[in-house]
Chains A and B, each alone.
Chain A
Amino acid sequence: EVQLLESGGRLVQRGESLRLSCAASGFTFSSYAMTWVRQSPGKGLEWVSSITISGDKTHYGDSVKGRFTVSRDNSKNTLYLQMNSLRAEDTAIYYCAKYADTGRWADFDYWGQGTLVTVSS
């Protein structure tokens, strides 16, 4: 059974840093690209970042570019999101998700339960 378990979300102050983790199991983690998507309270989905299978290529949404860094450790089956210079507008539930076999952006066939990041101003 595929499982994605995010962790690391908590209350932080504006300007602080935070690292989220996503522990994967039930599939060959090193064979799939991964992504982070967030959802502000009561709002819609927003793509944050994606990373290729080997981690050699990363992509970011404009709102986090230059502040967030996605990485992965295939030996530990874990995806990370380093978040720096946090802002109040970064307050959201952060989901990690697995790309489907199509390898196409937007085809995310498994999602974690999410971890809540709250940035206090």
Chain B
Amino acid sequence: QSVLTQPPSVSAAPGQKVTISCSGSSSNIGNNYVSWYQQLPGTAPKLLMYENNKRPSGIPDRFSGSKSGTSVTLGITGLQTGDEADYYCGTWDSSLSAGVFGGGTKVTVL
């Protein structure tokens, strides 16, 4: 059972938009920045978003992040087949004094 809660899967047709939620508490998301990772099949995770809504160099603006209270959301617009991957949120939990990840969300392009 992950400290951060993500939906197991989301799907949409090519060109459409998907959103992935990540829900936590005041000890983690509520008071710390959140990062998002994309993990393509058989590869290492890749930093997709940091400080809730900042994209590292090279990440297209089809990817966006937002935060509200103790939840964050990753949005992907103009969905492409290459976006099929597992997506993870992660942050520090001040109460646990530990880094925590969400359970991951599998994005499927229909």
Contacts and interface: CB of A to CB of B under 8 A. Distances in A.
Contacts of B44: 95, 111-114
Contacts of B2: 44
A59 B45 CA distance: 21
A59 B97 contact: yes
Nearest to A112: B44
Interface string B1-30: 010000000000000000000000000000
A116 to B, nearest CB: 12
B46 A104 contact: no
Interface stretch (A9-17, A18-26, A45-53, A69-77): A45-53
Interface in B86-110: 86, 88, 90-92, 96-104
A107 B99 contact: no
B104 A106 contact: no
Interface string B42-76: 01111100110000100000000000000000000
Contacts of A46: 101
B103 A111 contact: no
Contact of B99 (A47, A100, A114): A47
Contact of A44 (B35, B88, B91): B88
Nearest to B91: A106
9 contacts: A44-B102, A45-B101, A47-B90, A100-B56, A104-B51, A105-B99, A106-B35, A111-B45, A113-B43
Interface of A: 35, 37, 44-47, 50, 59, 61-62, 95, 97, 100, 102, 104-109, 111-114
